[in-house]
Structures are given as structure tokens and as C-alpha cells.
Structure 1
């Protein structure tokens, strides 16, 4: 981004050249960067997505009642209507950067302008669904502090345009937050995509095996036997019965299949003070998460993975991870599957100085077994040099690691049974995330732990 005597961030000198794919400037006020429209093929892709939704909404029973001909006409009419609405929406949608804000304009009868302060930017990702890959397009998604969902989904842009806009937004956000000076290459126009330092690439064979070691995969043979028994007993092979059964079976295996498709060719890179994640088969994603926005690192050891020594790593990003219902849309993937050595190396990149196997975890007092007779041995909590760590889980072991600088509040909670046993739970809350909770600690220890967490959080945020 230009600084010093260069053009201002909101000046026309920052707009992509007219030859950029999908570029369609809309005149704005004098001295303000012209608004840019999305790619002209955007209405076509939105119409195709609407067609899939329409077919799914009409369901198999509608097809059996009205017949294939009427069903096809209904689909075509509804899809054309959705496409016309998509064209109108595209014509009235535009975006541009004004100072340190991204402004998105949309609406025909009711005009709406969203101004997203870039200093609150948490993560940026470039998503390419299957149809977007076939047409050379991409979708840009932004996540900000306090947002319960994606704030500015720009769908769709050309791939080069989306990558350039992503770099520009991150540059403005980094300068707004830390006062950094933009590189000289940025003064000449759009900054190039940085190469990044490779950290880890997950083997697709390990990803496939990891999803075979899930409860859904083990239950699938029993489901097939049940379906075969139903068909043999009923003696009916009607279209509705087959379609309904296949739909039910698809629901059983949807989660492991979706994880394989989402995490295919997973690759983690480091770009200076940011992480870049690339993954996906049918829908490719490039997610960028600033390391200073990371609130919590979560480690998970599923029961069936322990025989191979595998674990999973996830992030919590402020204002995002807890608010998104669909976990596919969360920028929290750090390692979908890997061994302990790989997990240690990645955790050290995200949280310098933290060793995964050297965290000082201590168990709760023995009387906690009256509340958790099976899982008390799995509980643990401790204060490291830079982080607060909590271990929990019986069948699926979990470890939450929270840097002291990310702790927003500390709570000591007692339930009725805990009061009788003089136990308490200490919660370390983070911005918009679940944080960490040390369950069933001795009451005196719990208050001392809470006081120490508060002191270390203040010290970690104090300017040095």
C-alpha cells in the first residue's frame, strides 16, 4: 500500500487497471476510489447454486406426484427466476476501499452499505467451489472481531483479483494495527502474493485412513445390513424407498466424506506473522490467519487414532470460531491429522517457546472422582511459562492451550456438589472463543490459580 508521499489508500491510483478480469468500475464521489462490481459470471454461478437448492427442496415425493415433465418445468422456471434476481443483485452490488475500511454496497429498493474496519480483520480466505474452479473464479470471505458470521462474502471475483484484494486488505489491516510501513513493491500497484515458508503437508493416504477410523465408518456395515434386511422383508424396491434409503445412508457417512473433501491436499505455510492454509478437493480454500489473532490452540486425540499416535490441531480466532455454526467455514484448521512430532513443531510455530509434551499438567484432587468417576484420570491443568493449559476428555482426549495475553476474564464457578466437596472450576475466557476450563480443582488451589492467571494476563499485555 502506498505510504508517505504516495497516493492515499482511497485514491483511484489503487484501483486495478481496467483490463483486470471482472473489473467494472462504478463512478464515485470526487477523490474516492471507484466502486468495483463482482465478476460478470457471478449471476450464473448463483443461479446454478439456486438450481441445486430448488431440486433438493422439491424432494423425491414431489417428483413422484407430478411426474418428470412437470417437475422439470418447475425447476427451469424457478431457476430462471433465481438467475434474474441474481443479475439484479449483481448490478447493484459494489465494493471499494476507503481509507482503512472496506465498503460493500448492495440492494435495489433498500440500499445498504456495510463498512468493515480493517483493523478488526481476523482472517481472510479465498474459497473456490467446484463451479468457481471450472469458470476461473473465486470467493473472498472476511472475518472480523465480534462477527458471528462472514461479514463481506464477495462472490465472485477473478482468481488474480481475489488474491490481490486479499493481500491489499491484509496490508491495510497490518498497518492499521501495528503501524507497519508497507513495502516499496506495493507502491507500484497491487502487492504480489508472498511465497511463504512451508511448514507441513498432510498425506492424503493418512487423511483417508484417519476418517476410516471414525465411528461413522464402523457403523456403516451395520447400516448396510439393516437396509438389506428391510428390502428382503418388505419385498419392495420402489423408487421412493430406494431414494429415501440412499438419502439416510448418505447422512451417516456425510461427515467423514466431507472432512476428506475439505482437507484434501492440506498444506500449511508461514507468511511472516501469518499462517496460510490451503486445502480442499471439490472446493479449494486459501485461508490466512494473523498469528496475533490466535486465541487458543486445541489438540485432540480421538480414541481410534491413538493406536497410530495421531492427533488433530485446531485454532480459535477471536470473534469467529464460536459464532459459526458450520465448522467447514471456520478458519481453524491447523493440522487435520498428524503425529506428535509434527504437532509439536506446528505448536511451536504458532506459540513460540511452547512444547506440547512439556506442559506442567497436574491432576485434580482424589475426591474429584465422586463427580467424574471415569474421566478424573484424564483431567489436568497447569501454568506454563507463556500459556495456560487444560486437559480433559475420556474417549476423546483434548488439550486447550491459551496464551496469557489472550485471556479476557477469569471465573471461579462452583456447583452444589462441588461446594460439598470443596471443589471449583476455573474458567479462562478469551475473546469470542471457548477458552479453557480447569475442572474440579481444590477450592483453595482454584482461587490461587485464578489470581495467578489474572496477574500473568496483565503482565503479558504490558508493553515491554
Structure 2
């Protein structure tokens, strides 16, 4: 690994700052430079605060701060959390006046903490690492190796849109959550930093760091090639064709019956009922808001997804990081011929409990023709209508009396395909080069019937499985998967 012009590379921690180093009393132009600190093994300095840190070595990129409006946005988010945490029951017990006092006190405290956090947070790129520095009493430095970068997204919640700011989120291999959420930056700075990190991660070209004291120059966003745009009308109809929409009238009737029987129309009862109804509608409404104005572009070797109404997102996923592609066709969508496409990125999709934080949207709703075009871009040469999937043997009906015909697996030229599901049909495509391990598993009932399940595991965690295959066929399938995985990865090893 080569070292940048800034000095030590990411593998060697720089020396600890001395106690006698002191920055000048004033900075030209009112801008305070962001000095360099030790690497990921840093320890607390002699005194809290940035003033105890020495200036960066000559020629090294200075540390950048987040936008000055970041504490205000964090404080506003904390205010919403505080109001939700106090709940309606607190309002009924203490009254509106004391409730407002509690909200103000908690909001001011959260804002003060946000200001302190912003003052002691900085970031910069050192070699092939993004380093994020934070902490007041105990200083912490997180070093994110950019060669392990999986996806980068620019997120703009509603308040960030109103103030012209954005949040940058990074996902790395093996990460259990989002790394280095830089909130908040200006839109231009977030876009430029995203392009620079992707360029360094992909080894496409080295982007020179800005000179000391100069702001980063925004990189021009590539035009890209439009793959698909989802009609908002189709998105709305698709969420009406969900179990929540069909069960909502029954839920409303149940709540009305409860009110009539109890004879209570107090403020607390009405507020609780509205909260319960909002919970029922939350999932379909959230999907509409998240996937509003969905656009999918391709920029050279990356996919770029733009979506969102109240919170806009621009997600960038390198194509060579895609582990699997999933096709889902719910029961109620079949009358329209619609389906949904999702992809899995290593260390990202399976680890995030909230699906809004996953860069897995490939097509929220669309017809078979649109799905074929998108799959051909992600997995060249793969056609959904010609995949050679076969069902398990007839004796597997003892284990799957209703779903045996819906289960199947097969080996295409480029991918391993596995389908399942009776009411909601699912198809998973795994490129051979992404297979990390192959397992043959037998349960007690499978052993009596001479059946076994073959799992093709990926770095993303889920992979695909050929369910209830004949035992001899399962071992043959496992051997073939291993052979094809080795053959698919061989050119990359020498590349």
C-alpha cells in the first residue's frame, strides 16, 4: 500500500502530539484550521478541546468540520424524540404548562450537547482512509479503509432540505451499521466527498487533496444513463394492494365499536386511537414517501438511486459489490403483472434492522419488461424468463405439501437461481463469483426421505438455497457450485 504525500500511511500511527505544542492565538479570516491527530490508536491528549492539538504537518490535508448548522438540526431532531418520549399520559398528568417546560429543558440540553459534539468532530482523508475524529474528554479516531467501501449515500431529511444541507453515510464490508455518518455537510461538499471516496475506493484515479486552508472543490456530478423511472401513480396503487390496506377498514370498525361500547370520547382516548391508526398505516405510507420519484441511473461501474419525498436519498453502489439480486412478486400484484427487485450488498443489507437504511432498492414496483432491462444491467447475460429452475423430487411433498411446486433451483450460465414462496413468489440470483461457501444440510425428516438442502452463502449473509433436493443431486450441485465459484473468481485474482 502506497503512502500519500501527507506522511505516514494508514497502517502506521503518527506520533503523539507533544504537550508544548500550541496553535496561534488567532487564525486568518476567522477560519480555524483542523489539526491532525493520531491514528486509530490515539489516546486522550493533555487537555480537552481542539486547542491542545498541534497544527497538521506541512502538505497534509487539514481536518474539516461539519456545517455550523449541524447542532441546530440535531437539536430539532431531539425535540421530536423528546415529545414522543413524554407521551400523551405525561401531558394529562402534569398539564400543558409543565409539559412545555419539560420539552424546552430537554431540547436545550440536547442542543448544548449537539454544539459540543460539533465543536469536537472533524474528518479528513489520509492516504486510503477516511478518518473521523470526535470526543471531548476521551478523543476517538475512527479510520475507515476505503478499499472496503461498499456504498455511499447522500441523505437529505426534510430539515436538511430546508437548510440546504445533506448527510453522508458510508457502508463498509463487515460493518454492522452505518459507518462515519457525517451529518451535516453542504450539498456541494457532500457530493464532492462522495465522488472522491468512490474514486479512491475503486482505485480508478487518485484525487488530490485540497491545499491547506482551501475548501474542497466540488467534483462535477457525472451525467449517467437513466435506466428506469417509477411512476408515482404505480407506487401509490402498489401500496393499496397490500394486506394493511385491505385490513384497515376492519381495524377502523373495531376502534369505532370500542368507542361506542365504552362511551369515552376524551382527548386521551382520541389521541391514542389516532396513534394506533397511524401505526397501521405507517408501513405503506413510509414506503410511498421513501420511494417517491424513484430514479435509477448507471454511472460507469456504479448504480445511482434517487428517491424520497420528505427525505431524499442519493445512493451510490458499485456494481462489483452486488452479492445477490432478489425478485419478489406479491399475490395482489400479479393481477397487474408487477414485481419488485432488490439487491444485497456485502456487509450492508443484512445488518441494517431498518430497511430504509439499506441500499437495496433496485425497482420498488414495475413490470416484467422493466425488470428484465434492470437485471441485464446488474447481471449481464441473465434473463429472468429463461432461468433453468427445477422443483425438488416428488417425495418432498411430505415436507412441503402446498409449496413443493413453488420451490425450485437451477444453474444458469452466470448465476445460481433459487425460487420459493406460494403466495409471495421469490427468486434469488447469486453470481458465482460472489459465493463464499457452500453447505449441504440435512434435517431429521430429510434424512428419512433421502433429501438435503444446498446453501450458497455470500458475503452479504443470506445467499440462496436449493431446498429439499435428492441427496445425490445435492452433493453434485454443491460440487458444481464450488467449481463454478472458483472459475468465476479466477480472472479477478490475477487482475
TM-score of the superposition, structure 2-length normalised?
A: 0.87
Kindly tell me the number of residue pairs found equivalent between the two proteins. 443
Question: What is aligned with 1:117?
Answer: 145
Greater CA deviation, 191-200 or 45-54? 191-200
Runs (5+) with no aligned partner, structure 1: 12-22
**Corresponding position: 1:101 with 2:129:** yes
Question: What is aligned with 1:26?
Answer: 34
Question: What is aligned with 2:325?
Answer: 297
Question: Are the counterparts in 2 of residues 364 and 376 from structure 1 also a CA contact under 8 Å?
Answer: yes
Runs (5+) with no aligned partner, structure 2: 8-30, 37-55
CA distance in 1, matches of 2:5, 2:301: 22
Q: Which runs of 4+ in 1 moved over 4 A?
A: 7-11, 186-190
Question: What is aligned with 2:118?
Answer: 90
CA distance in 1, matches of 2:141, 2:184: 18
CA distance in 1, matches of 2:334, 2:173: 36
Identify the match of residue 154 of structure 2 among 126, 147, 153: 126
**Corresponding position: 1:37 with 2:65:** yes
SS at match of 1:142: strand
Question: What is aligned with 1:411?
Answer: 439
CA distance in 1, matches of 2:447, 2:419: 22
Q: Counterparts of 1:68-83 in structure 2 under 5 Å?
A: 68-83=96-111
Question: Are the counterparts in 2 of residues 9 and 98 from structure 1 also a CA contact under 8 Å?
Answer: no
CA distance in 2, matches of 1:170, 1:414: 43
Q: What whole-Å deviation, never above 9, does each CA across 1:274-309 have from its counterpart, x for those lacking one?
A: 000000000000000000000000000001001110
Identify the match of residue 94 of structure 2 among 66, 69, 73: 66
Question: What is aligned with 2:288?
Answer: 260
Question: What is aligned with 2:254?
Answer: 226
Cα distance, 1:389 vs structure 2: 0.2
SS at match of 1:124: strand
Question: What is aligned with 1:143?
Answer: 171
SS at match of 1:376: coil
SS at match of 1:51: helix
Cα distance, 1:190 vs structure 2: 4.4
SS at match of 2:351: coil
Question: What is aligned with 1:19?
Answer: none
CA distance in 2, matches of 1:338, 1:10: 49
SS at match of 2:260: helix
CA distance in 2, matches of 1:226, 1:410: 50
Question: What is aligned with 2:339?
Answer: 311
Cα distance, 1:189 vs structure 2: 5.0
CA distance in 2, matches of 1:137, 1:63: 34
**Corresponding position: 1:331 with 2:377:** no
CA distance in 2, matches of 1:381, 1:24: 61
Two-structure CA RMSD over aligned residues (Å): 1.8
Cα distance, 1:182 vs structure 2: 5.1
1:220–1:202 Cα change, 3 Å: same
Question: Are the counterparts in 2 of residues 38 and 157 from structure 1 also a CA contact under 8 Å?
Answer: yes
CA distance in 2, matches of 1:190, 1:352: 33
